[in-house]
Amino acid sequence: MPEFLTLLPPDEARALLLSHLSAPLPDSDMVDAAASLGRVSAEDVRAPHPLPEFPRSTVDGFAVRARDTFGATDSLPTYLTLIGEVPMGDAPGFEVGAGQCAILHTGGMLPAGADAVVMLEYTQPAREHEMEIQRAVAAGENVIRVGEDVAAETVILPRGRKIRPAEVGGLTALGILQLRVARKPKVALLSTGDEVIDPSQSPRPGQVRDINSYTLGALVQKAGGEPMRYGIIGDQFEALEAAARKALAECDVVLITAGSSASTRDMTADVISRLGGPGVLVHGINTKPGKPTILGACSGKAVIGLPGNPVSALVNGYLFVVPVIEKLLGETPKPQATVRARLTVNLASQAGREDWWPVRLVESRTSQVASYEAEPIFGKSNLIFNLANADGLLRISPDATGLSAGELVEVVLF
């Protein structure tokens, strides 16, 4: 069995791959704001007007001039003349003057002359058309001022931002019903191996159903790409080269699973080297699982060979495929979601190698403070439910020889 070439640390290998890729995809799509969740903005979006466009109350109560309430207490209340009620969904047809107040509901427009709202709980009727005010308010209290949420022409959605539910709400609040988003990168998925069959088929002894094109397809979709399945390719060099060449012409990224171990049956590296320059950049990552990973760039496009073992393929999909998709989308880098937890058992590691362990998070019951314990899930890299039963991945640094039980660790959530 031939040896791997020089193994690179994952961070170095990823940086090398990304440096050989083209800039973010130049084309974009116009989509409805209501359907933009998870897409990445392709241009800056500015507020066409301030939000809110009129001063609004944040509580049910009475619109007042704040200075008319100064000194008011439960034992020494102030009395104001009630001049009317502000209609919801309409502008008030009156102005609040000295010694006056008006009924105002949450979200209602503050009448001219008023600059604060007294909460309903701190008032009570005194006589007809007169309210007793039992607490003083400051100017602006219980009021959202014009433009307090966002000023006109402010960039409310910068280019490269992945759109979340809050952004969808903000866009519709401003009447922005369409926006331009980055096109989803097309990611080709090729499974290889004479033993691999379609999941719809019943395997004979020695055969296995295709897992990787579906787990990786789901990962691609979650990252913002569009998975394109090119089927299962047998262990024939010409067939794999033809399928990979077609996929490279039609897609932005090509993923080939299996055929990436350093064995006599290895074809992936040779295929990548024939698809275009510079070809294979990395053959072997100094990590576990996923050592036999191939990173290549052909004519500005990423071509990645992932191990056939499902756990190895998916873990390295997180490490290398997701960053490629994010670069093509022009997505602004963001921190990973993590949880601090205490490790339940000792974990050994080889110095100089970066290890990733699937772990299950269990709420700790030994402390009054909410905390978690990280339970490693042990098993071989061809057992997909090792990851299905995990909540995240635990990284062991290459400069460590392991982690001790009870140590506080950081778990990267899926």
**16-39 tens-digit pLDDT:** 999 999 889 999 999 999 999 999
- C-alpha dihedral sign at 70, 73, 79, 85: positive
**Per-residue pLDDT, 336:** 87
Residue 147 near residue 91 (C-beta atoms within 8 A): no
The model's pLDDT over 80-96, given as tens digits with 9 standing for 90+, comes to 999 999 999 999 999 99
**Per-residue pLDDT, 259:** 55
Q: What confidence category does residue 285 fall into, taking pLDDT thresholds of 50, 70 and 90?
A: very high
| Topology agreement, domain 10-27+184-329 and domain 29-51+149-182 | no
List the structure tokens of 302.
Answer: 């990423």
Cβ neighbours around 23 below 10 Å, total: 9
Q: Report, in angstroms and rounded to the nearest whole number, the Rg of the chain calculated over CA atoms.
A: 30
Q: Provide the percentage of residues in the chain whose pLDDT is more than 90.
A: 79
Q: What confidence category does residue 296 fall into, taking pLDDT thresholds of 50, 70 and 90?
A: very high
**Per-residue pLDDT, 355:** 92
Task: Please enumerate, as own/partner, the contacts of 107-112 that have beta carbons within 8 Å and a separation of 24 or more.
Answer: 107/56, 107/57, 108/56, 108/57, 109/54, 109/55, 109/56, 110/54, 110/55, 110/56, 110/57, 110/63, 110/86, 110/143, 111/63, 111/86
Is 80 exceeded by the pLDDT of residue 325?
Answer: yes
The CATH number of the structural domain formed by 10-27+184-329 is 3.40.980.10
Q: What region, left, alpha or beta, does residue 188 occupy, with left being phi > 0 and alpha being psi -120 to 50 degrees? A: beta
Is 70 exceeded by the pLDDT of residue 270?
Answer: yes
Is 90 exceeded by the pLDDT of residue 367?
Answer: no
**Per-residue pLDDT, 7:** 84
The mean pLDDT value for 293-312 works out to 93
What does pTM read for this prediction? 0.88
In CATH, the architecture of 29-51+149-182 is Alpha-Beta Complex (3.90)
Q: What confidence category does residue 2 fall into, taking pLDDT thresholds of 50, 70 and 90?
A: very low
Q: What confidence category does residue 350 fall into, taking pLDDT thresholds of 50, 70 and 90?
A: confident
Cα 126 to chain centroid distance, Å, stands at 55
In CATH, the architecture of 338-413 is Beta Barrel (2.40)
Q: What confidence category does residue 262 fall into, taking pLDDT thresholds of 50, 70 and 90?
A: low
Residue bearing tokens 């903005």: 41
**Per-residue pLDDT, 405:** 94
Is 50 exceeded by the pLDDT of residue 361?
Answer: yes
The model's pLDDT over 94-150, given as tens digits with 9 standing for 90+, comes to 999 999 999 999 999 999 999 999 999 999 999 999 999 999 999 999 999 999 999
**Per-residue pLDDT, 382:** 72
Residue ranges of domains in the chain: 10-27+184-329, 29-51+149-182, 56-144, 338-413
If you average pLDDT over each of 29-38, 250-259, 353-362, which comes out highest?
A: 29-38
Is 60 exceeded by the pLDDT of residue 313?
Answer: yes
**Per-residue pLDDT, 265:** 44
Is 90 exceeded by the pLDDT of residue 266?
Answer: no
The answer for residues whose C-beta is within 8 angstroms of residue 25's C-beta and 6 or more apart is: 182, 183, 185, 252, 328, 329, 330
Give the integer Cα–Cα distance in Å for 164 and 33: 11
Q: What are phi and psi of 406, to 5 degrees?
A: 90, -10
Which option is the CATH number for 56-144: 3.30.2130.10, 1.20.1560.10, 3.40.50.1370, 2.170.190.11?
2.170.190.11
Least confident window among 191-205, 207-221, 231-245, 367-381: 367-381
For 263-285, give the secondary structure using H, E and C: CCCCCHHHHHHCCCCEEEEEECE
Burial of 88 (0-12, 13-18, 19+ CB in 10 A): exposed
List the structure tokens of 358.
Answer: 């699937």
Average pLDDT score over the chain: 92
Is 70 exceeded by the pLDDT of residue 260?
Answer: no
